[in-house]
Amino acid sequence: MKQENGFILKGIGGFYYVRTDSGVIECKARGKFRKSSQKPVIGDRVMIEVQDDGTGYIMSIEPRKNRLIRPAVSNIDQLVIVCSAAPPVTETLLIDKVTAIAEHKGMDVLIVINKCDINRGDHLYDIYTQAGFQVFRVSAQTGEGVGALREQLTGKISAFAGNSGVGKSSLLNAIDEKFQMETGSISPKTERGRHTTRHVELVELETGGFIADTPGFSAFDAERMDLILKDDLQYAFREFEPYLNQCRFTGCAHVKEKGCAIRQAVEEGKIAKERHESYCQLYESVRNLKEWELK
């Protein structure tokens, strides 16, 4: 019996597939993980014991750097937010919800404007560049910008998010031919179909790096805003940072308060008004959350 370290690529029916230096090993979890919230998830870094027959047991899980609940993936290095200025046009509020979650959970963010063959998305480009994000312009259709994006995925674990129809699946297919995602349905996903039976999996890229293959994962867990307390929300908007201690009143919510340095910066064009509007809407939605609601 020997011990190895690795991380979980996928889990099906009680089996976990652990990527180690000596290949992918099929493992079961030790009993102690089975019931509790300690259950292994995709992305977990684990220590396994390999049996004589080549299968293994997960013995321990390293503390997680971060974790998404839906889909259940841990240790994500970066979140790739796919948006588009061509139909279906992405609302900045959706992008800002997801960037806020990512910032709060300590994931890097890449903003990717797809469908540049139709619309180059200057407005989105300006907003997110000004806010301090890396922004890529791509077209899954023509291949423009895909190489540069692929480079940014090398050596990291990434997950893709974006509104339905924005071209996530098309983009994954363009990034690596290992992906054979079905594309093209802008119809509702309520019928039984491709999204009901899929499970998440980390797919290893030709160029190194892993992508959580998350089709139809459009709403993300943005619905519940993954529960950022209202006092923390201001830190999830990175461009607010230089102004945070400059408001007239301590405990300023930066929504309508007089003497608010954030609002001032918005007036002066230093913070995009769309970003501040998203902040205000999110603030309103998390206003009444209590700490005990955070899991």
Ligand X SMILES: Nc1nc2c(ncn2[C@@H]2O[C@H](COP(=O)(O)OP(=O)(O)OP(=O)(O)O)[C@@H](O)[C@H]2O)c(=O)[nH]1
Measured CA to CA, the distance from residue 201 to residue 205 in angstroms comes to 12
CB-wise, 25 or 138, nearer to ligand X?
A: 138
Q: Tell me the backbone φ, ψ of residue 109, rounded to 5 degrees.
A: -125, 135
Among 46, 162, 220, 276, binds ligand X (CB under 6 A): 162
Among 247, 266, 282, 286, binds Zn ion (CB under 5 A): 247
Residue 247 interacting partner from Zn ion, ligand X, none (CB closer than 5 to 8 Å by kind): Zn ion
Q: Is 138 within 8 Å of 116 (Cβ atoms)?
A: yes
278 is in an annotated binding site: no
Q: Does 90 bind ligand X (CB under 6 A)?
A: no
Structure tokens at 41: 């998830």
Residues ≥6 apart with Cβ < 8 Å to 118: 85, 86
Q: Does 71 bind ligand X (CB under 6 A)?
A: no
CB-wise, 51 or 185, nearer to ligand X?
A: 185
SS3 93: helix
Residue with tokens 């019996």: 1
Among 4, 49, 117, 176, binds ligand X (CB under 6 A): 117
Q: Does 254 bind Zn ion (CB under 5 A)?
A: yes
Q: Does 215 bind ligand X (CB under 6 A)?
A: yes
Q: Is 149 within 8 Å of 175 (Cβ atoms)?
A: yes
Q: Is 135 within 8 Å of 108 (Cβ atoms)?
A: no
Question: Measured at the alpha carbon of residue 95, what is the angle toward residues 247 and 138, in degrees to the nearest 5?
Answer: 130
Residue with tokens 């019928």: 191
Among 46, 58, 153, 260, binds Zn ion (CB under 5 A): 260
Residue 148 interacting partner from ligand X, Zn ion, none (CB closer than 5 to 8 Å by kind): none
Among 174, 175, 200, 252, binds Zn ion (CB under 5 A): 252
Query: Is the N-terminal amide bond of 88 cis, ω within 30° of 0?
Result: yes
CB-wise, 56 or 121, nearer to ligand X?
A: 121
Tell me how far the alpha carbon of residue 65 is from its chain's centroid. 13
In the bound state, the residue with its beta carbon closest to ligand X is: 167
Q: Does 148 bind ligand X (CB under 6 A)?
A: no
* DSSP-derived secondary structure letter, 198: -
- Residues annotated as binding site for Zn(2+)? 247, 252, 254, 260
Residues forming contacts to ligand X in the complex (CB under 6 A) are 114-115, 117-118, 139-141, 162, 164-170, 183-184, 186, 215-216, 218
Q: Which residues bind Zn ion (CB under 5 A)?
A: 247, 252, 254, 260, 262
